[in-house]
Amino acid sequence: MIGIKELIDPIKTYNPKADFDAIIRAYEYGLKAHEGQFRASGEPYFVHPIEVARIVVELKLDESTIKTALLHDTVEDTNRSLRHIEISFGSEVAQLVDGVTKLTNLQLSSLETKHAENFRKLFVAMSKDLRVLLVKLSDRLHNMRTIRALPVDKQVRKSRETMEIFAPLAGRMGMQSMREELEDLSFRVLNPEARNSIIRRFLTLRKETDDLIPKIMNDINQQLGKEKLNARVTGREKKPYSIWRKMQDKKEGFTRLSDIFGFRIVTENETDAYIAMGAVHRRWRAVPGRFKDYISHPKSNGYRSIHTTVSGRDGKRVEVQIRTNQMHEVAESGVAAHWSYRDGERVENPFVVDPFKWLRSLNDGFIHSENPSDFFEHVKLEMFQDQVFCFTPKGEVIKLPRGGTPIDFAYAIHTRIGDSCVGSIVDGQRVPLWSKLKNGQSVSIIRSDAQKPQSSWESMVVTGRAKSAIRRKLREEHRVESIKIGKEIARVSLHKIGKKATEKALNTAARKLAMSSSDDVLAALGSVELTGDELIKTLYPKKVTGLSLPFLGARHMTFIGLEPGQEAKKASCCMPIPGERIVGIAVRKEGITIHAIDCDHLEDLDDNYEHWIDLRWPEGEAQTSHPTCLTISMYNGVGVLGRICSLIGERGANITNIDFFDRKPDFYKIIIEIHVKDLKHLSDIMTSIEADSDISVVVRTREGSGRAELGENNLSPI
């Protein structure tokens, strides 16, 4: 365990004005609080807070963050209270410790909704003070460095969480060196065989190339010397995980990768950076398509550098990064540079982005998102995706994740432009909306006020902003559609008990169901979140007894062919309607049930013909309504369901219930329960529905209603 002197000496080099007595007190406080506690490795527990503090010191952060690192586990793992820390070290440190404690208690390793909600809480905490995240990242880095002491299952869980959450967060904060180490430490646990294979290939390559890195560094220094440039040159092998990811992405073998070796030139100023680039290109042949200028087009996390790949010594392809000293500080420590010190003063680095800018952009659109999973998805996209730069017709730069489409481009400009997008022109050519945009392309959006977002768009876009806007608009459209359907269900349901679906009745239902308005009740009915039975039970509980809305046709009826005084009821398995050939089955306990002649259940009674009764529908039955069900496969588009419901109503049939199942991005199935007069009436309705271009299949469902699962055997075409 390192002593306090080893921790303080590096601080003196960049912040000699720090309150060292307070840091020593925090060290002693944490040492005493964790006394008698040990880590899984067997070493004293306080080794961990010290190492976290040392990582924070390497980032050259302020004394409050250092004290927080030393104390970050005291509230969670000891009997010390947050109030006691506030009294001892002030409110700033107490708030930071509280923030880190809350982040530690969040479960982030699952994508379920409750964990997506925790992920949103993480970003809320970050938005209050980003130093909380810097301490948490440092905490995770040391835990990953010592993860081998944990049981294997915990190693895997922590490594996956690090790979999915914390490493991308470090990258999004511009802390590339921390991201690379977190990724590689996770890679060592999650895929040790692949990592070891890459390391063995590195060892073989070193023998074959006879330590190529120093030789190429010397070549670069000589070339820069000819230009009389004062620059610092470094070289290294890429991390195993970085190599493996490139092999997966490019589907290439180890020896074919062009950037196994990386070299960096750090200059005094931006002018020298471009001179150095020219010197490198004069000395070695540049590889086409491998040049990126992040100085003129910085990444959103503030990263600036020139990237180029050249054919170096012995034809080996190497990547060269060129940047200034200030750009290098940001590239290495990212937003941590916002709090870094030099000679006791906060450093003003012009290339450090506002660390809260990204968080504010998230807050604007997603902190108050209705669906935490949407927020989680958006943040993941924001963290993982690289960027492309496209231009509006006026020359404005629009940054998009790699793989972005013209729809993403439209929404990046304004939600209104995205909603009304009908086409796009890229570099003067009309292209499909699903086209993937490339760096430097000029994009023009074709709009129409009559256009509305399509459900298929969601699978085309890659930005969280576009996905959220499309989903929000579709929800609004679906709500209007659900309200329309709900009105019909409410009308039919209440009509059955002699009541009307008045505004007053619906408002009463809304109040009893803890909903905001009558429209909420109708929308719930239309989207099958509320049934007609439940509406009646809410408003008129005494009317519910004996009521079965879906199968009102199951009442006892008189049919031609029965003995005087005999009654029968229709079987729910086939739901026969006038116009169909029917047969009565006499069952001792159940009486006589009426089946359609093609009912599957009759096969079980083939050997008992003495129970069969030849029956016909009585005159006038076609004047009453009879329940039946249709299963419809339809395009998942705005307005389609509402159009079908209107069509059914126009043909004189009532809708009593709707069930949704087997939802897909493009098509889904519904079961609609309707009341019809007879077989001809049903056939007319089905023919009209089938004529709609957005309908794929319409079949009559023979097996009851309200089923959440249906197999093909349950469907019998009329």
> Which residues carry out catalysis?
76-77
Per-residue burial over 213-235, b = 16 or more CB atoms within 10 Å of its CB, e = otherwise: beebbebbeebbeeeebebebeb
Are 302 and 174 a contacting pair, CB within 8 Å?
yes
DSSP, collapsed to helix, strand or coil, labels residue 700 as strand
Q: Give the number of other Cβ atoms within 10 Å of residue 671's Cβ.
A: 22
Q: How far apart are CA 391 and CA 443, in angstroms?
A: 6
Tokens of 141: 């880095």
Amino acid present at 104: T
Are 625 and 555 a contacting pair, CB within 8 Å?
no
DSSP code for 366: I
Are 419 and 407 a contacting pair, CB within 8 Å?
no
CA 403, 409, 414, 418 torsion-angle sign: negative
Are 123 and 361 a contacting pair, CB within 8 Å?
no
Beta-bridge partner residues of 310: 286, 318
Tokens of 469: 């806007």
Tokens of 512: 């009893």
Reduced 3-state DSSP string for 34-70: CCCCECCCCCECCHHHHHHHHHHHHCCCCHHHHHHHH
DSSP, collapsed to helix, strand or coil, labels residue 3 as coil
Q: How far apart are CA 553 and CA 628, in angstroms?
A: 9
Q: How far apart are CA 266 and CA 271, in angstroms?
A: 12
Q: How far apart are CA 567 and CA 594, in angstroms?
A: 10
DSSP code for 287: P
Continuous H helices in 438-555: 464-495, 503-512, 518-526, 532-539
Q: Report CA-CA distances (Å) from 484 to 216, 288, 479, 612, 699.
A: 72, 58, 9, 45, 24
